[in-house]
Each structure stands twice: as C-alpha cells, then as structure tokens.
Amino acid sequence: MAKEKSVYVCTECGGTSPKWLGKCPSCGAWNTLIEQAASPAAAGGGQNRFGTQFAALAGASDLAVLSEIEASDVARTPTGLDELDRVLGGGIVAGGVTLIGGDPGIGKSTLLLQAVDALQNAGQIALYVTGEESGAQVAMRARRLGLERSQVQVMAEIQLEKILATLDANRPAIAVIDSIQTVYSDQLTSAPGSVAQVRECAAHLTRFAKASGTAVVLVGHVTKEGALAGPRVLEHMVDTVLYFEGDTHSSFRLVRAIKNRFGAVNEIGVFAMTERGLRGVANPSAIFLSQHSEPVPGSVVLVTLEGTRPMLVEIQALVDDGGPSPRRLSVGLERDRLAMLLAVLHRHAGVACMDQDVFVNAVGGVRITEPAADLAVMLAIASSLRGKPLPKGFIAFGEVGLAGEVRPAPRGQERLKEAAKLGFSVAIVPKANAPKKGAIEGLTIHAVERIEQALDAVRSLD
Ligand code: TYD
Ligand code: MG
C-alpha cells in the first residue's frame, strides 16, 4: 500500500504542521502536535473542522423528528459469564465497541478468551486478534483454561489494514483486539502504542464495528498513574469502558464500568483468579475483609455500595511519628480527600496529626471513590493514633463535611442489613441512616450528626 502523507495536528487549537514541532506554530502550545493521516478517509476531525472538506458534505442528510424515531432497545447477547454481563448491562451489543483497561497481568486476556469461547459455544462467530502473544501462547492459555476444544478463530497480527481486511472477510459477531497498543496503521509513521497510532487504529476499528455490526472489544494497558498513551485517549470514542482493578497479589479482581452507553455505570463484576481462569464471585460482600483473630488498632470495616451490591471493605490506617515534613499516603482512596479529612479531624474533633506520617489503605486493592468512606477513614486514623482497636464486629460509613457534620450515605438500610447478615454487631452511622422504626437484629447502632459525636461514641465503647 502506498504511504499516505501525514500531518501533525495540534490537540489544543487544531492547527496543522507538515512536520513534528515541539511548539504549535498556530497557538504556541508546547508538545501538543500529534500525527494524523492526511487522507480524508482517515480518522480524526482535524481537517474537516477547518473547511477543506466541506465539499464532501454536498449531499445533505435526511432529518427525522425525534418522536418518530423508533427507540428500539438494543439487542444484547449474554457472554455467559454472569459477572461480566452484569457490568456490560446484560451482554455484548452488536456494533458496540468496548474498551477494557487495566494493569498488565491483571487478567484481561484471560477474561476475554473465556468470554469469546463462551460466545463461540453459543453459536456466535468469535475472532481473537493477538498482537502481544503468538498463537501458540494463546493456545497454551486456552489449555490452562480447559478450552482445548475451542473453535474461536485466532489471528496473530498487528497491522491494522490486515486486521480490517480479515474482519471484513469473516464478519465475526465479536472481535477482540488484544491489545490496541500493539496495533499500527501503515498510514502513520509514529510507533505502535503512540497516541497517534492508538487513536487512529481505534477510530478505524470503531467505524468497522458500526458499519458491520461486529461487536469489537479493545484491550488497553494502563499504568498505576493512568498515564501511557492508551485507554484514556479512547474513552470518548468507544461505547463502553471497563476497568480491571485489584491487587495482582490477591486473587480477587473487580471489573468496573466507567462509561456505558448501553447500561448502568457504577456496576461492578467480581472475579476470583483461579488455576483455571477467572471465576465469577456471586456474593462478594465479604471478600475484602482481612482475618484478624482479635481487633487491631487502625482498622475499621466500611460498608460501601458498589453498583447494586453492598460490600464490606476493611480500611486500615497507620499513624506514626513523622519527620519535619510528615507524609500522607493513601492506597485505594483519594489523597486529597485524606488531607481534607485530617484537617476536619483536627479542627472539629481535636485529633492532631500534624507531626505524624499518615498512611491509609483499602484492603485487597479495591478503589473507593464514594465519600461515604470518610467516617471509616477518620475512625481508623483516630484508632491508630490512640493505639486502641475498635470493638469486634464494628462497622461505619458516612460522609463528613468541612464543617464537621456527618452526612447520610445513599441506601443506608441496605448497608446495615448486609453488615448484620455477615455478623457485625456495632455500627456508627449518620443519624439520617439509622432505622426510623424498629431495629436491625443483632446490630447496635450509634447514630451521629457530627464527627465529635462519632469519636465520643467510640470512647464509650472502650
Ligand atoms: P493475563 O490474562 O495474561 O493478563 P493481562 O492480559 O491483563 O496482561 O493474566 C495473567 C495472569 O493471570 C498471570 O499472572 C497468570 C494468571 N493466571 C492464573 O492465575 N490462572 C489462569 O488460569 C490464567 C490463564 C492466568
Ligand atoms: Mg494480555
């Protein structure tokens, strides 16, 4: 194929340059020029926005009145892996494009191989494009997963044009591209994995999906910082974005929907990595608790709500003498929020950690974003500072505001019931979340409106 000329387009202003420059000649921004194919068929909106191709719009498109457009619900094909279907909103959608991101080694290839095999067994044609591993390596993984009789078509290829030609000839129901970072297009000179290549290739694959009805799944790597040319630049392009979370040292993995044009977000799927691949965990509420035989200082169990299911997660804090510039570190929780909670603890409850290192960790590699974790984090910090454990069977949740007020968490009753079901016996929760009538069997509930009250309640439990 003849090499098309490429242009460099500024991501800030859309200005173009025939060669790469450190500084955009149009707006002067640094490091914003990204290579794009110059042909009109290529991806990206660069030139279209700037006039030269308006002639192509000559044939006007038909208009339709919104109320007359049939709002047909999309047909979904369940993958057969219940936890995956849960995050997808019921299954894969024809013509839908899904991006699955996650750290290397977390289980993306494993999950997708299991999913395409299940779909193939259900009578769908499935194609697995591998750019990272050879066909033999994929076959070895399949053996390990007990899928040695799998009829899934495998193609070891990284050149976009060849992949598209094969997809077009075979028209599979689902195609997995593992991974988008290894695919490159002939039209660009940038290296595979660069922003330009990743974007260009994903755009072509997306267009193919929409035109053919093939469901396309793109695999992308992210680093812990979410950096690297990869999934982040694709999020707006695709229909569904799933992220794998979890500590590669523990066996549990979470798959979280960040964006879903065909279903609810915030839903999570929970898996356990076993000797024979990923197995769904249908009742995940107790998997993120570590087993202490006796309560230890600095540990509080939080009842968090993920999607439609409450989960209990142990929050650990360690407060220790720091040097002249004490550190604040958090794993699985937001660091800025930690700084804020420490200030609230000091100002409203007189708990001072100014000269102390403070470390906070959500056990099991879960990432907790909901503010309802505040109260548990603060009680864990106070407990570590005092060197006193909370009582056995203790749970907490609730958001804490800058004025020291404890605000209710959504669906408090469900959280309390789940905790009671798992045998927890003492709770400190926002007043508005305490049961209005009757009690929850087996659970003593201390309802609080302010952070000082929560700490008083803890002392009364000693
Ligand atoms: P993999 O799917 O290759 O990760 P990714 O595609 O996200 O990079 O998973 C690799 C890890 O999973 C590897 O460390 C081995 C482990 N694993 C199992 O524990 N059991 C299995 O059955 C398989 C296939 C992998
Ligand atoms: Mg892989």
Question: According to the model, what pLDDT value does residue 57 have?
Answer: 54
Whether residue 59 has pLDDT greater than 70 = no
pLDDT in tens, 286-326: 888 877 788 999 999 999 998 778 999 999 999 999 888 99
8 A C-beta contact, residue 313 and residue 366: yes
Distance CA 319, CA 101 (A): 34
- Domain of 353, CATH number, reads 3.30.230.10
In terms of domains, do 263 and 344 share one?
Answer: no
8 A C-beta contact, residue 295 and residue 386: no
Domain assignment present for 14? yes
Length of the chain: 462
Distance CA 263, CA 123 (A): 24
In terms of domains, do 126 and 174 share one?
Answer: yes
In terms of domains, do 96 and 240 share one?
Answer: yes
Ligand 1 mean position, distance from CA 134 (Å): 15
Q: Which atom of ligand 1 is nearest to the CA of 106?
A: 7
Tokens of 448: 């609080």
Tokens of 412: 């408090």
Domain assignment present for 1? no
Ligand 2 mean position, distance from CA 179 (Å): 7
Which residues surround the ion ligand 2 when the cut-off is CB under 5 Å? Answer: 109
Ligand 2 mean position, distance from CA 314 (Å): 30
In terms of domains, do 421 and 312 share one?
Answer: yes
Nearest CA-CA partner of 133 in 161, 162, 112: 112
Give residue 268's Cα distance to chain centre.
9
Sign of torsion over alpha carbons 125, 128, 134, 139: negative
| Domain around 254 | 77-282
8 A C-beta contact, residue 223 and residue 81: no
8 A C-beta contact, residue 356 and residue 319: yes
In terms of domains, do 268 and 292 share one?
Answer: no
Domain assignment present for 72? no
Domain assignment present for 428? yes
pLDDT bin (cut points 50, 70, 90) of residue 42 is very low
Which residues in 152-239 belong to E strands, given as ranges?
Answer: 153-156, 174-178, 215-221
Q: What is the mean pLDDT of the chain?
A: 88
User: How many domains would you assign to the chain?
Assistant: 3
Residue where one domain finishes, among candidates 282, 310, 341: 282
Question: According to the model, what pLDDT value does residue 58 have?
Answer: 59
Q: What pairs with residue 382 in β-bridges?
A: none
Q: Which atom of ligand 1 is nearest to the CA of 251?
A: 19
84-108 average pLDDT score: 92
Q: Is 145 in the pocket of ligand 1 (CB under 6 A)?
A: yes
Residue where one domain finishes, among candidates 282, 308, 325: 282
Domain assignment present for 69? no
Is-above-0.85 flag for pTM?
A: no
Residue where one domain finishes, among candidates 234, 249, 282: 282
- Domain of 271, CATH number, reads 3.40.50.300
The residue whose two tokens read 């049961």 is: 435
In terms of domains, do 271 and 357 share one?
Answer: no
Whether residue 457 has pLDDT greater than 60 = yes
Whether residue 137 has pLDDT greater than 80 = yes
pLDDT bin (cut points 50, 70, 90) of residue 191 is confident
Whether residue 132 has pLDDT greater than 80 = yes
366-381 average pLDDT score: 94
Question: According to the model, what pLDDT value does residue 54 have?
Answer: 52
Ligand 1 mean position, distance from CA 228 (Å): 21
Nearest CA-CA partner of 284 in 333, 322, 251: 251
φ/ψ of 100, rounded to 5, equals -115, 115
pLDDT bin (cut points 50, 70, 90) of residue 238 is very high
Which of the ligands is closest to the CA of residue 102?
1
8 A C-beta contact, residue 380 and residue 342: no
Q: Is 364 in the pocket of ligand 1 (CB under 6 A)?
A: no
Domain assignment present for 346? yes
Question: According to the model, what pLDDT value does residue 39 have?
Answer: 58
